[in-house]
Amino acid sequence: MRMRPTLAWTPTQDWPSATTDLKPVTDALGTGGVLILSGAGISTESGIPDYRGEGGSLSRHTPMTYQEFTAGEQARRRYWARSHLGWRTFGRARPNAGHQAVAAFGRHGLLTAVITQNVDGLHQAAGSKNVVELHGSLERVVCLSCGSFSPRRELAERLTEANAGFDPVAAAINPDGDADLTDEQVGDFRVMPCRLCAGILKPDVVFFGENVSPQRVEHCRTLVREATSVLVLGSSLTVMSGLRFVRQAVQTGKPVLIINRDPTRGDRHAVTRVALPLGTALTTIAGQLDIQIG
């Protein structure tokens, strides 16, 4: 699967309208067998912005592509300077009520799995099990030469030591952990090589323009086949990496339900789209199912 920097899409005039009625979602969760597909919108209440919602980062920031990152040293210097600064804020983010509700649904046996498009690790931090990180995780770093993995915190320590005094003020933090910095602020930031082979290090996340592994995609397809229904939380479904699983669910007769304040590319496939903040909506549903959060 190839990720492309799709910035936006335009709903048709006959796009289904949203609702604030949570009953269909509550009924689906009460039945069990639900597969969660989550996007950046579930993490906004943890202080991490989304890509395409109101004030989303794509209105001012285009993520670096895999091709840019691998093509030049200057591009990697820019990426790692921005990402190193963003990590300080991103790494301190904590699960919000939405993440905690999803974890509670899982503890009560209502979910088959969680597929997340996010790279922040907040579902796991909240206690969710069987989480598939579709686009990887910022917690890990991979060497593009030898394929070895290492903890992001270890690299952060090395970058801090190599760039003493690097402490610019970022204009904003983005959903991928990147911070908005000017070229002047990036300066001559020093990038660290792999400890084992001196190769190029990259966060273990899928960049725009990079392939999601076929094995991971097939695993997600299997989860869709095994689910009773699919519940989309906080994703615009603009890119095919998530939308394809919604389409698969519909093609196999599985109902799709969406909670997202803005229209999504999957609305026409869904039984309903609930336009409510995720923390509020999921907490309300938990109460209706007599499930304790936290």
Residue 1 binned pLDDT confidence (cut-offs 50, 70, 90):
very low
Residue 31 binned pLDDT confidence (cut-offs 50, 70, 90):
very high
Identify the CA nearest to 234 among candidates 272, 268, 278. Answer: 278
Q: Considering the chain, what is the average pLDDT of its residues?
A: 89
pLDDT tens readout for residues 188-218? 999 999 999 999 999 999 998 888 999 999 9
On the question of pLDDT at 56 being above 50, the answer is no
> Residue 2: its pLDDT value, please?
38
**135 catalytically annotated:** yes
Place of tokens 């907040």: 122
pLDDT tens readout for residues 97-135? 999 999 999 999 999 999 999 999 999 999 999 999 999
- Catalytic, out of 61, 84, 99, 135: 135
Between these two residues, 81 and 10, which has the higher pLDDT value? Answer: 81
Q: Is 184 helix (H, G, I), strand (E, B) or coil?
A: helix
289 labelled ligand-binding: no
pLDDT tens readout for residues 65-99? 899 999 999 999 999 998 998 887 777 889 999 99
On the question of pLDDT at 244 being above 60, the answer is yes
On the question of pLDDT at 59 being above 60, the answer is no
288 labelled ligand-binding: no
- For each of the domains in the chain, give its residue range(s) and CATH number, in order of start: 19-48+95-135+211-294 (3.40.50.1220), 59-92+137-205 (3.30.1600)
220 labelled ligand-binding: no
CA distance 168 to 177: 15
On the question of pLDDT at 268 being above 90, the answer is yes
Angle of CA points 63, 66, 72, to nearest 5°: 100
Strand partners, 239: none
> Residue 208: its pLDDT value, please?
84
Mean pLDDT of 41-52: 82
Strand pairing class (136-143; 149-151): antiparallel
292 labelled ligand-binding: no
> Residue 176: its pLDDT value, please?
64
> Residue 8: its pLDDT value, please?
56
Q: Do 135 and 118 touch, CB atoms closer than 8 A?
A: yes
Neighbour-count burial for 244-262, b at 16+ CB within 10 Å, e otherwise: bbbebbbeeebbbbbbbbb
> Residue 172: its pLDDT value, please?
66
pTM of the model: 0.89
Share of the chain above pLDDT 90, in %: 72
On the question of pLDDT at 4 being above 70, the answer is no
Identify the CA nearest to 217 among candidates 130, 134, 142, 138. Answer: 134
Greatest C-alpha distance within the chain: 57
- For the chain, the distance separating the N- and C-terminal CA atoms, rounded to the nearest angstrom, is 36
Between these two residues, 294 and 279, which has the higher pLDDT value? Answer: 279
pLDDT tens readout for residues 145-169? 999 999 999 999 999 999 998 888 7
235 labelled ligand-binding: yes
Mean pLDDT of 236-263: 95
Distances (CA, A) of 227 to 33, 233, 252, 285: 5, 16, 11, 20
Q: SS3 for 210-263, per residue?
A: CECCHHHHHHHHHHHHHCCEEEEECCCCCCHHHHHHHHHHHHCCCCEEEECCCC
On the question of pLDDT at 29 being above 50, the answer is yes
